């Protein structure tokens, strides 16, 4: 596990998610998220993960896989009305994935 990568990936992902959420929240009406949040949220999450993969220099496909897996527990949080708690959990899990991935890639070399 690469702890520097965990912290860096989690920090970048959190910042990207907060920035994109702020921009979209300011630009779009609440009704958009009520109707289309089920697709806008996951696509935004993956876009932020793609940005994070560039900053931490990890393979895009593997980072997106980790983002998808890390996002699964947050679905339960959304269902019970704790959207942002689920997002925070997903950021933590995503950071751990990236740290694990870095360690695996370093092992191969």
Predicted local distance difference test score (pLDDT) of residue 87: 93
Q: Determine if residue 57 is left, alpha or beta; phi over 0 gives left, psi from -120 to 50 gives alpha, anything else beta.
A: left
pLDDT in tens, 72-81: 998 899 889 8
Q: Are 16 and 51 in contact (CB under 8 A)?
A: yes
**Rounded CA gap, 98 and 109, in Å?**
17
pTM listed for this prediction:
0.90
Predicted local distance difference test score (pLDDT) of residue 109: 66
């Amino acid at each position: 596990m690469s702890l520097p990568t965990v912290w860096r990936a989690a920090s970048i992902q959190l910042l990207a998610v907060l920035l994109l959420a702020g921009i979209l929240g300011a630009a779009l009406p609440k009704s958009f998220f009520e109707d289309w949040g089920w697709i806008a949220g996951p696509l935004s999450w993956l876009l932020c993960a793609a940005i994070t993969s560039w900053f931490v220099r990890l393979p895009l496909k593997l980072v997106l896989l980790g983002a998808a897996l890390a996002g699964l527990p947050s679905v339960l949080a959304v269902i019970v009305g704790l959207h942002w708690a689920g997002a925070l959990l997903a950021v933590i899990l995503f950071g751990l994935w990236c740290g694990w991935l870095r360690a695996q890639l370093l092992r191969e070399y």
